[in-house]
Amino acid sequence: MPTLDKTQELIVASVREFVARHVLPVASELEHRNEYPHEIVTHMRELGLFGCNVPESYGGLGLSYTTFALIIEELSRGWMSLVGPIGTHSVICDIIHRFGTAAQRQKFLPALASGERRGGLALSEADAGTDVQRLTTTATRVADGYLINGAKMWITNGRYGDTFVLAAKTDAKADPPYQGISAFVVEKGPGFHVARDIDKLGYKGVETCELYFENFFVPTENLLGGVAGEGFKQVMTGLESERLNVAARGVGLARAAFEDAIQYAQQRHTFGKPISQHQTIQIMLAEMGTKIEAARLLTYSAAEKKDRGERCDLECGMAKLFATETAQEVAWQAMRIYGGAGYTKDNRIERYYRDAPLLVIGGGTNELQRLIIAKGLLAKYPVK
Ligand SMILES: Cc1cc2nc3c(=O)[nH]c(=O)nc-3n(C[C@H](O)[C@H](O)[C@H](O)COP(=O)(O)OP(=O)(O)OC[C@H]3O[C@@H](n4cnc5c(N)ncnc54)[C@H](O)[C@@H]3O)c2cc1C
């Protein structure tokens, strides 16, 4: 755990209190109904959480990556879906701030920071997830702008969001293909359609949509940074912070499952004693606690490195891989500790168990993380 300064302590305490008061009492019920948590999201907006990573000069909180990860961990401990509305939203804030023109920053960042605008990342397609260079959505040059045609899959905030960073091919013949990808900051309008909300195993409440575009017009001034062919690099750079964000979600979810399980283990009796006094349960608790601590250390060490402005793709990949595999394992172990009670909707364990796999898949699958990590390690340890 990083050493927190006074401001960080205050922020963590206020998010923790918010979660205890407004989230925990209703999360499972809303989740089972797959209902968008409008009221909670409004509260999050009032707390300024839509502007966590937007600099103060654009109306945001200008928080460090470490502080933002602490917030994500606390929210996720309450209900992982709540990170949805601010997750890819914060990724596009990062991308626009880093690569946008002065006019794009001025136009979009203050409204995104206040939550007046809600953002999302429209990158993946049905046939282009891990291998995103294969995307087929096109942006064709016309007078004053581009016409977007194609479809996007898995887009979080697709229904309630209104502003997206969208990746499309401006040169379908480019070789290598990524050089033909451009990014646009788009606002919903004629030709931008939400085809459907995807029915998911977990991560309910927040919408994940299939979108399609029919001659959707985007003005030239919305081409990110004013340069074509840079979209792949721009979006991939933004995804480094997404990996940290997903790692922090993993820590939060694992903590939630562990904290529930260790309580339950001390209250549930078998053979005349609490199950926490049986050695098999103690072994599980010990492993869960140790892995969570390791996941937390990896996550905050990567966040601190990013805060220092150092290259940290290797560390972000390691944190994402370990923290999310830990979340998945700990959710399962918590269910075992609960026994039959964990398999019912009367307890939160089943929700953690259904939410955890997304962390392994989203933000770049853990198979992809392993490739990134191996590449980083091979570069770090060349043959002497
Ligand atoms: C709930 C949800 C929300 C999402 N939100 C968004 C969003 O807001 N915006 C967005 O753009 N996308 C979003 N995504 C998409 C997500 O990023 C992709 O699902 C993810 O990148 C994996 O792509 P895929 O599903 O196409 O799987 P595939 O790429 O088809 O992968 C299938 C399997 O093959 C493995 N694999 C692929 N290539 C390799 C390789 N080279 N080596 C080893 N293994 C490999 C993968 O790891 C995986 O196990 C979301 C997805 C989900 C499920």
Strands 119-122 and 163-169 come out as: parallel
Q: Whose CA is nearest to atom 31 of ligand 1?
A: 130
Same domain, 202 and 287: no
Token look-up 């500790």 returns 337
Q: At CB < 8 A and 24+ separation, what contacts does 51-54 make?
A: 51/93, 51/112, 51/113, 51/114, 51/115, 52/86, 52/90, 53/90, 53/93, 53/94, 53/97, 53/241, 54/93, 54/97, 54/109, 54/110, 54/112, 54/113
Looking at the CA of residue 87, tell me the nearest atom of ligand 1.
Answer: 8
| For the chain, percent of residues with pLDDT exceeding 70 | 100
Cα 133 to ligand 1 centroid, rounded to whole Å? 13
Residue 71 maps to which CATH number? 1.10.540.10
Pocket test for ligand 1, best of 232, 245, 365 (most atoms within 8 A of CB): 365
CATH of the domain at 222: 2.40.110.10
The 3-state DSSP class for residue 159 equals: coil
Give the residue from 209, 184, 208 showing the smallest Cα distance to 194. Answer: 209
219-272 per-position pLDDT tens digit: 999 999 999 999 999 999 988 889 999 999 999 999 999 999 999 999 999 999
Quote the crossing angle between the two packed helices 279-307 and 65-78, to the nearest 10°: 150
pTM of this prediction? 0.96
* Encoded tokens for 344: 């019912």
Predicted confidence band at 3 (pLDDT cuts at 50, 70, 90)? confident
Instruction: Answer positive or negative: Cα dihedral of 247, 259, 264, 347.
Output: negative
Domain count, the chain: 3
Each residue of 129-138: pLDDT tens digit?
999 999 999 9
The pLDDT tens digits for 139-179 are 999 999 999 999 999 999 999 999 999 999 999 999 999 99
Show the domain range for 201: 119-229
The answer to whether residues 352 and 253 touch, using CB atoms and an 8 Å cutoff, is yes
* pLDDT score at 10: 95
- pLDDT for 1 equals 65
Answer yes or no: do 216 and 244 share one domain: no
How many CB atoms are located within 10 Å of the residue 128 CB?
17
Q: Are residues 268 and 375 in the same domain?
A: yes
pLDDT in tens, 281-296: 999 999 999 999 999 9
**Which of 91, 92, 132, 154 best tests ligand 1's pocket when mutated (most atoms within 8 Å of CB)?**
154
- How many A from CA of 362 to the centre of ligand 1? 6
Q: Measured over all CA atoms, what is the biggest interatomic distance in the chain, rounded to whole angstroms?
A: 79
Residues with CB under 6 A from ligand 1: 88, 120-121, 123-124, 129-131, 154-156, 200, 203, 208, 358, 361-362, 364-365, 367-368, 371
